[in-house]
Amino acid sequence: MDGVLVHYDPKIHGKDEDTDFLSLQPIPGALQAVRDLMAMGHDVFIATTAPWDNPQAWTDKRLWIGKHLPELKKRVFMTHYKNMLMGDVLIDDRTANGAGQFKGHHIHFGQSEFPDWDSVMNHFKN
């Protein structure tokens, strides 16, 4: 979610423990891309990790999804072990919290091959 759907930069927004996640803005193209993936027939869920020392962040993330992607508000996994999730594709901006060990295809968002949502959508269309 952070760094993939939500524009979050710890250099700008502070440490996770201090961040008001509810006030963060969507990454350009993210919301439309998620809706396009669903329209293409993909079964979309959100996997996110919330900081242990900021319990309000768990609520803020759920409320952010309800505000920006209400169709996914009951399709959220909050976990520090993304490698335990089952699926074909995980789009994540990091390899931490199990993302790098995900059993399906990990699209490393924000890196050279997938720098933005246009590149991710081109991958799915091809």
Residue-wise pLDDT tens digits, 44-78: 999 998 888 888 888 999 999 999 999 999 999 99
Query: Positive or negative, the Cα torsion across 68, 70, 72, 78?
Result: positive
CATH number of the CATH domain containing 31: 3.40.50.1000
Arithmetic mean of pLDDT over the chain: 91
Domain annotation covers residue 3: no
Describe the chain by its helix, strand, coil percentages, rounded to 5.
Answer: 40, 15, 45
Q: What is the predicted pLDDT for the residue at 38?
A: 98
Domain annotation covers residue 4: no
Number of compact structural domains in the chain: 1
Domain annotation covers residue 26: yes
Domain annotation covers residue 51: yes
Is the pLDDT reported for residue 12 higher than 80?
no
Domain annotation covers residue 39: yes
- Asked if 72 and 44 count as a contact pair (C-beta separation under 8 A), the reply is yes
Domain enclosing residue 78, as ranges: 10-125
What distance lies between CA 20 and its chain's CA centroid? 16
- Asked if 65 and 76 count as a contact pair (C-beta separation under 8 A), the reply is yes
Question: At 18, is the pLDDT very low, low, confident or very high (cuts 50, 70, 90)?
Answer: low
Does this model's pTM top 0.85?
yes
Domain annotation covers residue 44: yes
